[in-house]
Structure 1
Amino acid sequence: MNDHTNPPLLLRRNGRPQACDPCRKRKLACDHTRPVCSRCKKRKQDDECVYLLSGSRILTSKSPLPSSAPSTPLLSPRRGSLQHSQNSSTLTPDAQVSGLTRPGYLGPTSYCNIYEDTENSLSLLQGAHRVATQSESVARHTPIEGSQTNISARVRDMALSVLRNIPDPIQGGTLRFNPGSDGWIRSIAEPVVKSLYETFGDYFSTGNRPTAKLEELARIICANTLKPFSDDESDPDKWFGQFLGKNIRWELIGILSIFWEFVPGSDVDFWKGKRSAEFDRGFRIARENMHLSLDLCKELSAGNSMMLCLSQRCTIVDSMLVGDADLLVWRTHAETISLLTFLGFHAVEEKDRHQTSLSTEIKKRIFHNTFSIAMDVVSFTGRPPLISSRYSSTPLPLDISNEDLLSDHDTFMKAISRLDEEGWNTDGEIYPSTHIRARAIIALIREEIFEIALGHRQNTLRNPFSVETLLQLRSRELSAVAAFPSCLHFDPLEIDNLEVPINHLSVRLFIEQEHLQNMFFIERLLLRFGHQDKGDLLKVSYDLVTQTLPYYLHLDRLPSFRNGCEWLVMAYAVPAGGILCLELLKPTLHLRPHSDSRITRSNIIQKLSLLVAFLNWVSPSAPNGYLCNDAKSVIQRVLDQTLNTASSIYEPPAVFQWDSPTQLDFNFDLLDTFDWIRPDFPSSQQSNQ
C-alpha cells in the first residue's frame, strides 16, 4: 500500500527529479516536495502546485496518489526499465511519465530525450482531454496472441513439447549441479523446482499425461509469461514471487532444463572417454526444452533478466552440440548480446555501493558474465566482438554470496559493509560473484589486446599501438591478477590435494588459464612488433599446456568441466602447443638453456605427448572434434619427425626441414593464433622443398 503522507519522488526521463509546474514554468529551483513544494507553500499557492504524472494525469495537494502508482521512485530510461509493448496496463512507471511508449532501453541520443519536454508541454496544454499518441494507441489495442483464453497453434505445440519432456516429481525434484560452474543461477533454480512440483506436480505424473491437462497448464504459464517482469524489484520475496509456484514462467522452465537429468544414468559412461547414447539423448532433450522455452518467451515476453540468463545458457549448450566456431553458436550469442543491450544491462549506473540492491547486483552479474563469454568467443574465433566496454558503464558486481544477495535488506547491507575497498569479500571464500569479478577484470584487458590483434589501424599513420602499449598491458595484466584475493591464487600442487574443495580448485584453475591466455596473446603481439623474446613466450606456452592437461588427467577431480573439454583443449592448449612444436622444429634450448628449469626438450616432448592423448580422447564426432583431430595430426607429425631424426645424443638436434608446402598450419583462422605459430622458413629452404 502506498504511503500518501510520504509520496514517492517523481523522476523525469533524464533521471532528474520532476519539478512542480509553477516552478518549472518560472524556471525556479523546486525542492520537489509533495504534495506541495516549499516554494509554493511559501507563496501560498497550494492549489497551483501540481505535478504531471502521466500526460493527462495531474497530481495536486488534494489528489491522493492513485492506487496503481508505483511505491518506488519512477525510474529514468538510463536504468534500463522496460515496457511490455502489448498491453497498456503493463506500462512500467518510467513509461507512464509521458505519452511516449518505451520499447526497451533507450540511451541519451534516443528520440525519447529529445521529445520529452515537448510531450510534457503538450500534456499541459491538452489537459485531461489529451489524445493518445500513435505508439500508445498501438500498445493499447494490439491483440495479445497466446493469452490465457487463446493461444496460437504454434505456441500450443511448442508448449506441449516442453511440458511432455519435464521429468516426474521424483526424478525432476533433484537437480544436477556442477560445482564451480553453475554460478548464482543455482540459487534461483532450487526454490523454483520445489515450488513447481508443489503447485503443479500432478501434471507431471509418470506415464501418460493427458493432452487436455497439459494444455491447461500451458495456458497458465503463457498467461504468466505475458505479465510484465520487473527487473527493478529489490525485495527478494517480491522478486521471487514473480515466478514461483502458480506464477511459473517459461523463462524459469527453460532454466530448470539446464539442471534436470532427463535420462537417468546418462553420465555413467562418460568416464570411458566418449559420450554415451544415453548422455546424448538427455543432452538433446535438455537443449530442445531450453530453446523451445526461449522461443516461447520471444512470443510472449518483452524480455527480462531470466530470459537473458536462458539465452546465455542456450549459447553454451549450442557450442557443446556443434562446436564453438559454428554459425549456430554465433547467432545465438548475438541474440544474447542484443537482448542484453535492449534491456540496458550494459548501462547500469551506481554512484555508491550502499545504494545498490538485489536487482542492480543481478544486472551487474549478468552483464559481466556475458561480457566475459563474449571475449572467450572472440579468443576462439578471431571474429570482431559483438559488445564493447567503450559503450558500457555497468560496474563490477560486489563480491557477496548468493545467500546474502537474496536475503533481507539488513543482511544484504551488512554483507556489503564487510567488503574491502575494491569490492572483494573479506571472508576468504570463492562465491559466484568472485568468479565473475575475476573473469571480468581479465576480459576487460583482453578486449584491449583484441583492439591491437584484430584492428587494422596499426597499418596507418595514426597507429596508436606500440611495444610500449603492449608492455603496459602486460604490466597491468600481471598487477591485476596479483591483486586478486589470495583465495583465487592457483597452486599446481592443489590438483592432487583432495582436501581442497573442488569448487575452489575449479575456479582457480580456470582463472589461471584465462590469465595465461592473455599473457600468451601479449607475448605473441610483442614478437609481431619486433620486441626481443627472452623466453617469455615459451614459458607462457609451457604453462598453458601444463594447466590444461588436468582436465584430461584429473577428470574425476574436475567434473564441472567434463562437458567442455573439447573447447578447453582447443582454446588454451592447442595454440600454446603450437609454440612448443616450434621449439622442437627450430630448437633454441641447446644454445641457451631456459631460465625456468622445467622447460627442457624432454619435458616439452612429454607435454606434447600428453596433449596428443588428450586430443585423441576427444571423439571426432564431438563438438570441435574435427578441430581436435586436425591439431592432433600436426602435433603427431612434429613429434614423429623430431624423435626419428635425432642422429646422436651427443649432437644438438638438427633444425627440422618441414617437408610439406603447407608448413606448420592447423588450418584454422582463430585470432590469427595459428598464423602466428607458422615457422618463418628462409626462402632458400622453401625452394628446396
Structure 2
Amino acid sequence: MSASEAPVLRRPNGRPQACEPCRRRKVACDHSQPICNRCRKRRKGEDCVYLVASPARITTRRTPLPSPISSISPSVRHISLTSPPAAQSTSTEGPVRQIASARRGYFGFTSYCTVYEETQNSLSQLQGCNSTCHSVARSLSHESPVETPPRIISARTRDMCLTVLRNVPDEVSGKVFFRGRPFESWVYYFAQKALDSFYEIFGHYFDASRSDSKLEELVGIICANTIKPFSDEESDPQRWMGQFSGRRVRWETLGMFFIFWSFNTHSITRRDSDNQDEFVQESRLVERECLGLCIDLCKEFSCCNTLLLFLCYRRSLVESMVSGDASIRAWTYHAEAVAMLTFLGYHVSDNDKPYQPTLSSEIKRRMYHQIYTTDMVIVSFTGRPPLLGRRFASTPLPLDIKNHDLFADQETLIKAAQGLDERGWNTDGIVYSCSPMRGRAIIAAIREDLFELALGQGQVISVEALLELRERELRAVSEFPEQLFYRPEHLEDPTVEVGILYARLLLKLEHLQNMFFVERLLLRHGHNQTDLLAVSFDLVSFTLPFWTHFDRLAAVRADSEWLVMAYAVPAGGILCLELLKPTLHNNPPHGRDITRSGIIQKLSLLVGFLDWIRPTAPNGDLCGNCKSIIKHVLDQALNASSAGYESTGAFDWDFSTQVDFDFDLLDTFDWTRPDFSVSQQSHT
C-alpha cells in the first residue's frame, strides 16, 4: 500500500487524527499522508508525525521528506522496513507522555514540567489514586509498546548504511582486530559478547561473496532493530545486552565495534613497517567516518540512549587523535557528548541511603565521570571554560567493583558492593577498570576548583585558599588504595599488566599536574619557585617513560602526542626558565637532588620525545614549536662558558619575547613566562 493510499488514522472517538504540528498549533489538518498540506506549505515535512493513543497501544506514522541523494551512489533505491511490536511495557504512564518524554529528555526543577507534575500528584491524592506518578524526567526510558509501520529509507541513508557495512571486516579479521583499551574494559566486556553473537548470526554477510545486494538485507534488519525503543533503565544484564546484541543488532552496536577495531590496529601491525604510522592514521580516519555515520544513523532511527552517548564520547576522543586536541571539531564533538549527557540526566542522582546498586545506575555513574574527567583534561590543555560543573551535578562516584560482578545478577552485584570499604574502594588489592576512573574523577573535582581561581574573572585569590587546595589534593591522593600508586620499578616488572601500568602512570601525572597548577598560582603570590621546580621536574620525568620505554607501553602509543603536550611540555618550560635564570644555588628543593645537570638531561630527553612525534601527527606542529624553543635554551646553556654562567647567574635574554612556546592554548596560564610587575609591563 502506498503512502497516499494509507488509511486515515483515527482517534479513539473515531474522528480523524491531526498530525502533531497541527494538533499543537490547534489548527485544522487535512490528514493527508505522508505529509499534510499545511506542513508541506510551512516546509515542516520532517515534523509531520501522526500519533494515535489507545488504552493498549500507540500507533505512529511518519514518512520523511526525500533527502538529497548522496554523491556516494547516484542510484535512487528505497528499502522498506517493518518492525514488530515491542515487548509489553509495565510502565504506569500514558503512552503519549512516554513518547514525548523520550524525545525531550531530562527536566530539572526549573522546567515547566515540575509544576504540572506537582499538580498531578496533588490531583491523584485528592482522587485517592494509589498509582505512583513518575517524574517526566525519569520517564526517558519507560517506552510504551510501539508498532512501527513500514518506513522508506532514502538513497542517501541507504548509502550511509552500506558504507558502514562495507568496512566491516570478515569474521577472522574482526576478532583479531577487536581488542580493549585501558579505562574502557567495562564497555569492552559486553562489546566482545555482542561481537561474537554478531558474527555467529550475520557473519555470512561478510564472507568472500560479500555484495551490496546481500548487505542491503542486513541494512533492513539493523534499521528495523534501531527503530525499536532502547531502555536505559533495564537492570537485568542479559535483557540489557539483549537489546543490542544477537539478532537485535543496532547501529549503536556497529559503532561500538568500530571503536575497538581500529584503535588497536597499530598494536598488531609490524613495528618495523615503514608505513605503520600512515596505516594507523588511515585506520583512524576510517574509524572516524564509520563511527560518525553510525551516530547519524542512530539519530535518524532512534532516541538518545546510553550506547549513543558512549559513541559520541568516543568520537570526541577519536577526533582529537585525528585533528588535534585543540581543534574545533574535537571541541564540538566533546560539547555534543556533554549535551547528550545532560539531556539524559546522568549528571543528577537521588543518592538514596542506603544505596542499592543496579546495572543501569552504575553505568550512568561511569559515563558521567568519564565525560566529566575528560572535560577537565580538555580545560587543562586549552584553558577554555569547562562545560560541566559539580555545582550542577549530584552523581556520586561509581563503585569500585569488577565488571564480572557488574554484569552478574542483582544478588551478586549487591554482595560485591557490600565488600567495599567506606569510601567505595575494593578491598581485594586489585586494579579494576573502574579504579582509575574513580581516582581521576577525584583529582578532576579538585582541578575544577583550581580552574575557578585560574580562569575566573573578578575573583580575589587568597594564599590561604590555594594552600587549602594543595592540602586537599595531597590528602585525597594519600587516601587512594595502594594498588593505584605508581612505583618506578613497575616499568621493569613484567607481571604488571600494561593497562594497570598506564593507569598508575596517568594518575601520577594527573596528581602532579594539579600540584603544578597550585604552585604556579602560589608563585604569583610571592612564594618561591622551589616547589614549582620540583613538581615540574617530576612531571617531565614521569612522562618520559612513554618514549624511553616504548616497547613496554606500545599499546598506548596513540596517546603519546597529548601526553607529552599536556604534561611534559608546560613543565619543561619551567625547567627552561631555571636554566636561563637559576635559583637552585640560592634555594635548593628540600630533600630533592635536582641539579642543573639533571635538568639538562631531562630536557635533552624531552627534545628526543618531541622529535619522535612525526610532524604530521595531530599535535605535530605544537610539538615542533616546543622542540625548537627547548633546543635553543639547551644550546645557550651548554655553549655558554661556565665562568660567564657563574658570574652573571643568568643569561642576558629578553624573557618577555624569547621564552615563548608560541602556542596560545597551552600558554593560557602563562606557565612558561616569568611574572612581571605592573611597572615592568608598562615598559614592554
* TM-score using structure 1 length: 0.79
Provide the rounded CA distance (Å) in 1 between the counterparts of 2:488 and 2:647.
32
- Per-residue deviation at 1:687? 12
User: How far apart are the structure 2 equivalents of 1:116 and 1:440?
Assistant: 34
Secondary structure at 2:256's aligned position in 1?
helix
Q: Which moved more, 1:350-359 or 1:476-485?
A: 350-359
Q: Contact 1:348 / 1:363 at 8 angstroms: preserved in 2?
A: no
Task: Evaluate the alpha carbon distance shift between residue 373 and residue 264 of structure 1 in structure 2; reply closer, same or farther with a 3 A threshold.
Answer: closer
Q: In 1, Cα distance between the equivalents of 2:119 and 2:106?
A: 20
Are the counterparts in 2 of residues 189 and 255 from structure 1 also a CA contact under 8 Å?
yes
Runs of 4+ in 1 over 6 A off after TM superposition: 86-92, 120-125, 144-147, 262-266, 271-274, 681-689
Could you list the per-position Cα deviations for residues 96-137 of structure 1 after superposition, in whole angstroms to 9, with x for gaps in the alignment?
388583211111221111123556789999x9xxxxxxxxxx
The answer to whether the Cα contact below 8 Å between 2:177 and 2:264 also exists between their aligned partners in 1 is no
Partner of 1:567 in structure 2?
562
Number of residues paired by the alignment?
Answer: 587
Rounded Cα–Cα distance in structure 1 between residues aligned with 2:596 and 2:397? 43
Partner of residue 476, structure 1: 472
- Cα deviation for residue 542 of structure 1 reads 0.3
AA aligned opposite 1:96: G
Match of 2:94 among 93, 96, 111: 96
Deviation at 1:474, TM superposition (A): 0.4
| Cα distance change on mapping 1:117 and 1:171 into 2, 3 Å | same
Per the alignment, residue 501 of structure 2 pairs with 505
Task: Check the 8 A contact 1:263/1:281 in 2, yes or no.
Answer: no
Residues 15-63 of structure 1, C-alpha deviation per residue, up to 9 Å, x if partnerless?
xxxxxxxxxxxxxxxxxxxxxxxxxxxxxxxxxxxxxxxx997xxxxxx
Q: 1:542 to 1:117 in 2, by over 3 A?
A: closer
Kindly indicate whether the alpha-carbon contact (under 8 Å) linking 2:57 and 2:95 is maintained by their aligned counterparts in 1: no
Partner of 1:197 in structure 2?
Answer: 199
Instruction: Give yes or no for contact 1:148–1:223 (8 Å, CA) kept in 2.
Output: no
Amino acid at match of 2:564: V
Q: Is contact 2:236–2:359 with CA below 8 Å preserved after alignment?
A: yes
Q: How far 1:642 moved relative to its partner?
A: 1.1
Q: Which residue of 1 aligns with 2:228?
A: 227
- Check 1:671–1:563 CA distance in 2 against 1; reply closer, same or farther (3 A cut): closer
Q: Compared with structure 1, are the counterparts of its residues 569 and 265 closer, same or farther at alpha carbon in structure 2 (3 Å cutoff)?
A: closer
Does the Cα contact within 8 Å between 1:605 and 1:639 map onto a contact in 2? yes
Pick one of 494, 519, 524 that aligns with 1:523.
519
**Distance between the aligned counterparts of 2:576 and 2:245, measured in 1?**
55
Residues 346-401 of structure 1 show CA distances to partners (whole Å, capped at 9, x for unaligned) of 11223135412010000000100110001001000100011111111111000000
Q: Report the residue type matching 2:482 in the other structure.
A: S
- Listed as ranges, the matches of 1:630-669 within 5 Å are 630-648=625-643, 651=646, 654-658=649-653, 662-669=657-664
In structure 2, how many angstroms separate the alpha carbons of the residues matched to 1:263 and 1:357?
31
User: Partner of 1:251 in structure 2?
Assistant: 252
Whole-Å separation in 2 of the counterparts to 1:550 and 1:400: 29
Classify 1:99/1:146 alpha carbon distance in 2 versus 1 (closer, same or farther; 3 Å). Answer: closer
What amino acid is aligned across from residue 202 of structure 2 in structure 1? F
1:437 corresponds to: 438
The answer as to whether partners of 1:98 and 1:120 remain within 8 angstroms in 2 is no
Q: Which amino acid aligns with 2:649?
A: A
Provide the residue aligned with 2:590 in structure 1. 595
The question of 1:347 aligning with 2:348 is answered yes
Q: Name the amino acid aligned to 2:578.
A: E
**Equivalent residue number for residue 408 of structure 2:** 407
Residue 554 (structure 2) pairs with residue 556 (structure 1): no
Contact 1:171-1:261 within 8 A present in 2 as well: no
Cα pair 2:365 2:396 within 8 Å, conserved: yes
Partner of 2:176: 174
| Aligned residues: CA RMSD | 3.3
Partner of 2:165: 163
Q: Tell me by how many angstroms 1:622 deviates.
A: 0.4
Return the alpha-carbon distance in structure 1 between the equivalents of residues 489 and 326 of structure 2: 34
Helix, strand or coil at the partner of 1:589: coil
Question: Does the C-alpha gap of structure 1 residues 366 and 643 become closer, same or farther in structure 2, counting only changes over 3 Å?
Answer: same
Give yes or no for contact 2:356–2:414 (8 Å, CA) kept in 1. no
Q: Give yes or no for contact 2:376–2:448 (8 Å, CA) kept in 1.
A: yes
Secondary structure class of the residue paired with 2:670: helix
2:72 corresponds in structure 1 to none
Q: Which residue of structure 2 aligns with residue 45 of structure 1?
A: none
| Preserved contact between residue 517 and residue 572 of structure 1 (Cα < 8 Å) | yes
- 1:494 equivalent to 2:460? Answer no
Once the two structures are TM-superposed, the CA of residue 454 in structure 1 deviates from its matched residue by 0.5
SS at match of 2:646: coil
Distance 2:156 2:353 in 1: 47
Query: SS in structure 1 opposite 2:347?
Result: helix
Cα 1:110–1:660 shift into 2, 3 Å: closer
2:134 aligned residue: none
Q: Following superposition of structure 1 onto structure 2, how do residues 611-630 of structure 1 map, counting pairs within 5 Å?
A: 611-630=606-625
Q: Which residue of 2 aligns with 1:604?
A: 599
Instruction: Give the conservation status (yes or no) of the 8 Å contact 1:615–1:628.
Output: yes
- Structure 1 residue 676, shift from structure 2 partner: 2.9
Contact 2:316 2:330 in 1 (8 A): yes
- Tell me if structure 2 keeps the 8 A contact 1:312–1:333: yes
Q: Give the letter aligned to residue 171 of structure 1.
A: S
1:528-539 aligned at under 5 Å gives the runs 528=524, 530-533=525-528, 535-539=530-534
User: Structure 1 residue 470: deviation in Å?
Assistant: 0.8
Q: Is the 8 A contact 2:86 2:147 kept in 1?
A: no
Measure the CA separation in 1 of the matches of 2:330 and 2:404. Answer: 33
Q: Cα offset for 1:220?
A: 1.1
Q: Distance in 2 between matches of 1:92 and 1:430?
A: 39
Task: Write out per-residue CA displacement over residues 269-293 of structure 1, whole angstroms, 9 at most, x where no aligned residue.
Answer: 5577985332222222122211111
Which blocks of at least 5 consecutive residues in structure 1 are unaligned?
1-54, 58-65, 69-85, 128-143
Please name the residue that 2:185 is paired with. 183
Is this contact kept in 1: 2:656–2:673, CA < 8 A? no
Q: Give CA deviations for 1:416-460 in whole Å, capped at 9, x if unaligned.
A: 1110111100111111111111010000000000001110022xx
Q: Distance in 2 between matches of 1:395 and 1:297?
A: 29
Secondary structure, aligned partner of 1:633: helix
Looking at structure 2, the residues matched to 655 and 628 of structure 1 have their Cα atoms a distance apart, in angstroms, of: 26
Q: Aligned-pair distance for 1:147?
A: 7.2
Q: 1:175, 1:378 → 2: CA distance?
A: 33
Tell me: CA distance 1:506–1:653, structure 2 relative to 1, closer, same or farther (3 Å): farther
Deviations 1:157-208 (A, max 9, x none): 11110000000011112344355343311102110100100111111113x5
Contact 2:226/2:251 (8 A) holds in 1: yes
Partner of 1:140: none
List alignment gaps of at least 5 residues for structure 2.
1-52, 59-82, 130-145
Match of 1:421 in 2: 422
Of residues 345-354 and 231-240 in structure 1, the stretch that sits farther from structure 2 once superposed is 345-354
In the other structure, the counterpart of 2:378 is 377
Distance in 1 (alpha carbons) for counterparts of 2:673 and 2:538: 20
Question: Measured at CA, do residues 640 and 598 of structure 1 come closer, stay the same or move farther in structure 2, by a change above 3 Å?
Answer: same
**CA distance in structure 2 between the partners assigned to 1:360 and 1:353 by the alignment:** 14
Find the counterpart in structure 2 of residue 328 from structure 1.
Answer: 329
After TM superposition, give the deviation of residue 502 of structure 1 in Å.
2.1
Report the AA paired with residue 232 of structure 1. Answer: E
For residues 476 and 317 of structure 1, what CA distance do their matches in structure 2 show?
A: 33
- CA 1:281–1:668 in 2, change beyond 3 Å: closer, same or farther? closer
Cα shift at 1:670: 3.1
Contact 2:180 2:188 in 1 (8 A): no
The answer on whether the counterparts of 1:225 and 1:300 sit within 8 Å (CA) in structure 2 is yes
What are the superposed Cα offsets for residues 455-509 of structure 1, whole Å, 9 maximum, x if unpaired? 0022xxxx3x311111111000000000000001111222122232222211111
Q: Percent identity?
A: 51
